Amino acid sequence: MTGANSGIGWHAALELARAGGEVTIASRNTAKAEDAAQRIRERVRNADISTGRLDLSDPQSVNAFAERELASSRPLDILINNAGVMALPQRRESADGHELQFATNVLGPYRLTGLLLPALLRSASPRVVTVASGTHAMGGPVPITDLDSKASYKPIRAYAKTKLANILFARELQRRAGDRLLSVCCHPGAARTNLFADTSRLMLLSVFALYPLLQNAGMGAEPLLMAATLKDAKPGAYYGPGGFMELRGHPVETTTAPIAEDVAASRALFYELEHMTSLRYAF
């Protein structure tokens, strides 16, 4: 699982470990990953949990992490693409020159999923979970253009585009995989996490306005856990809180904005990601 050293990712990792799963916490900060793993071990006796260094915005880091995972020749039952950054105040670039939100939230998960496909396809019932956001509805129009926000950078707009891209990716992955794997997505609603630590002033003001509605990170993890473990999850399904405006509450299967259901936009995005990464999924 990516992004599991804190927030909803940590709570999801805790519950998966509690249920007896073998959990790998992938994080760009190895010290934080080890601390997160230790906090889980303190709560779950004999938790089967490991850590690995992974910076999704850096192709070399993604390649190295995938190589280590594939070297074990073990099947991978569930890949959870959870890590992300949100509404960075200024446009920044990744090691290979892409806008940092796009590189972390979209390109990195695309590359990681593609590289780990051999391990996923060794599983009897592999599943890929992609964590999106309700802000995806603001990410249009589709097909998505200016993926790197070179023509115009607006923090929340750039973030919303990446979250729309997450859903388009998840659904095109399902179409291409057929019955070889299950691809689903989810969103946590409004949860108190450190995702707000490096974000724009406008986003902080929005969070302040919504503060009474924010739920804790444990509740925010419930849609992720539903997406990862629901026995009869539907291909391409989308899970989120069932309460007020989908900001809080226990999870339910919900619907995405119409722009996230555009098949042509999903295919166009996948083609762009193939071109940018020189990585083509092989089923």
Q: Where are the domains of the chain?
A: 7-277
- The mean pLDDT value for 173-185 works out to 98
Helix (H) or strand (E) holding 272: helix 263-277
- The mean pLDDT value for 250-263 works out to 98
Q: Check if the beta carbon of residue 224 is closer than 8 Å to that of residue 80.
A: yes
Catalytic residue, chosen from 159, 211, 238, 271, is 159
Whether the model clears a pTM of 0.75, i.e. scores above it, the answer is yes
Q: Check if the beta carbon of residue 265 is closer than 8 Å to that of residue 144.
A: yes
pLDDT band, very low/low/confident/very high, at 263 (cuts 50, 70, 90): very high
- Given a cut of 60, whether residue 233 has pLDDT beyond it is yes
- The mean pLDDT value for 171-178 works out to 98
Q: Check if the beta carbon of residue 2 is closer than 8 Å to that of residue 55.
A: no
- The mean pLDDT value for 274-278 works out to 97
pLDDT of residue 191: 82
pLDDT band, very low/low/confident/very high, at 214 (cuts 50, 70, 90): confident
Q: How far apart are CA 189 and CA 271, in angstroms?
A: 30
DSSP structure string for 138-157: GS-SSS---TT--S---HHH
Q: How far apart are CA 150 and CA 153, in angstroms?
A: 7
Residue 221 sits at φ, ψ, to 5 deg, of -80, -15
Q: In angstroms, what CA-CA distances link 5 with 77, 199, 232?
A: 20, 19, 28
Q: How far apart are CA 179 and CA 159, in angstroms?
A: 31
Annotation marks residue 110 as catalytic: no
First to last CA, the chain: 22
- The mean pLDDT value for 5-29 works out to 96
Q: What percent of the chain has pLDDT over 90?
A: 89
Which distant-in-sequence residues (6+ apart) come within 8 Å of 131 by Cβ?
Answer: 3, 8, 80, 81, 82, 84, 166, 185, 186, 187, 188, 224
pLDDT of residue 210: 63
- The mean pLDDT value for 118-130 works out to 98
pLDDT of residue 3: 92
pLDDT of residue 240: 98
CATH of region 7-277: 3.40.50.720
Tokens matching residue 179 = 């019955």
Q: In angstroms, what CA-CA distances link 127 with 23, 64, 77, 231?
A: 14, 22, 6, 11
Q: How far apart are CA 269 and CA 67, in angstroms?
A: 26
> Buried b vs exposed e over 81-112: b needs ≥16 C-beta within 10 Å?
bbbbbbbbeebeebeeebbbbbbbbbbbbbbb
Name the residue with tokens 């509805």: 137
Q: How far apart are CA 226 and CA 50, in angstroms?
A: 22
pLDDT band, very low/low/confident/very high, at 196 (cuts 50, 70, 90): low
For residue 121, count other CB atoms closer than 10 A to its CB. Answer: 15
pLDDT of residue 198: 61
- 3-state DSSP call for residue 33? helix
Q: Check if the beta carbon of residue 131 is closer than 8 Å to that of residue 103.
A: no
Residue 137 carries which side chain, given as an amino acid letter?
A
pLDDT of residue 194: 66
